[in-house]
């Protein structure tokens, strides 16, 4: 007598993902290079036994990190959605870690349901490199940087603007309109952090933006000149992109966040050193 197979309901699983981008050629699957998407898809497929496609909130470039990237996949596996965080953390390489996993409805999409994304760029300004922060910062020690000038230059960016001056070639996006919701630059001892939150980001936008902000911070460009370049879409004058390793995809916003707060916030603490001297 044949045994009847019990149908397992299909489910959509959302993942909150951290990764060290220095180990990967970006998020998106590559034909011949190691990517975060390919690594995770292959890992999930060994568990569920069928083809899986991960849809992410945003694509990070080679060398860019993520504190809370969000992606989803569909499966008929009976593993409860909340258990996937443990299932994957025992199988992925050390350069990837899962913060949380959660069930989401089938009309929820990691990319299209998101209302904002937030990035942070970190600059380390001490005269000598520091081994323990080196993989996650741009060590900029050539000239002093004025973080207050950089903060002032950022403020006019808040709002809806056409930011083609901060868009690298090769993007398939139809336009360069971006709704910037927040932008701030602050210093903590030898660290300068630049955070931008927007509805979406253009290809290469944050690294080109930071490259020009550094020119403002060191006095090479005025705030007025900085604003004139991007408002007049003078892409030919934006010549330098900040290094990838200083950039981190912080988190994504949704009307109904599927993850607990501890998986969402403080996943990449601000770098800082205690200002008090230490006795050895």
Hey, which residues are catalytic here? 61
Residues in the chain: 280
Residue 274 neighbours by CB under 8 Å, 6+ apart = none
> Cα separation of 33 and 150, whole Å?
36
Got the DSSP string for 37-67?
Answer: HHHHHHHHHHHHSS----EES-PPPTT-EEE
**Would you tell me how many other CB atoms lie within 10 Å of the CB of residue 244?**
19
Closest by CA to 58, choosing from 38, 37, 73, is 37
Beta bridge partners of 194: 121, 185
Helices (H) and strands (E) in the chain, counts: 6, 10
**Would you tell me how many other CB atoms lie within 10 Å of the CB of residue 204?**
19
> Cα separation of 269 and 6, whole Å?
46
Q: Retrieve residue 166's tokens.
A: 């901060």
> Cα separation of 158 and 229, whole Å?
16
Beta bridge partners of 196: 119, 183
CA dihedral 17, 205, 222, 270 (to 10 degrees): 0
């Amino acid at each position: 007598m044949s045994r009847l197979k019990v149908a397992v309901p299909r489910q959509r699983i959302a993942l909150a993902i951290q990764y060290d981008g220095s180990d990967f050629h970006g998020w998106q699957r590559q034909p011949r290079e190691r990517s975060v998407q390919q690594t995770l898809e292959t890992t999930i497929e060994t568990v569920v036994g069928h083809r899986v496609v991960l849809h992410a909130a945003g694509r990070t470039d080679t060398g860019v990190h993520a504190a809370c990237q969000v992606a989803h996949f569909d499966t008929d596996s009976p593993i409860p959605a909340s258990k996937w965080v443990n299932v994957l953390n025992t199988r992925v390489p050390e350069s990837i870690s899962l913060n949380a996993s959660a069930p989401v409805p089938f009309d929820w999409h990691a990319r299209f349901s998101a209302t904002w994304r937030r990035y942070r760029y970190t600059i380390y300004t001490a005269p000598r490199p520091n081994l323990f922060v080196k993989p996650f910062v741009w060590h900029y020690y050539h000239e002093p940087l004025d973080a207050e000038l950089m903060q002032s230059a950022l403020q006019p960016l808040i709002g809806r603007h056409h930011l083609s001056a901060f868009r690298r070639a090769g993007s398939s996006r139809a336009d360069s309109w971006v709704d910037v919701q927040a932008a701030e630059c602050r210093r903590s001892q030898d660290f300068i952090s630049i955070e931008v939150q927007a509805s979406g980001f253009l290809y290469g936008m944050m690294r080109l933006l930071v490259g020009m902000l550094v020119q403002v911070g060191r006095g090479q460009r005025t705030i007025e000149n900085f604003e004139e370049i991007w408002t007049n879409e003078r892409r030919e004058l934006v010549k330098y992109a900040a290094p990838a390793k200083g950039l981190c995809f912080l988190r994504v916003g949704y009307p109904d966040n599927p993850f607990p707060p501890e998986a969402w916030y403080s996943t990449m603490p601000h770098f800082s050193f205690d200002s008090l001297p230490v006795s050895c």
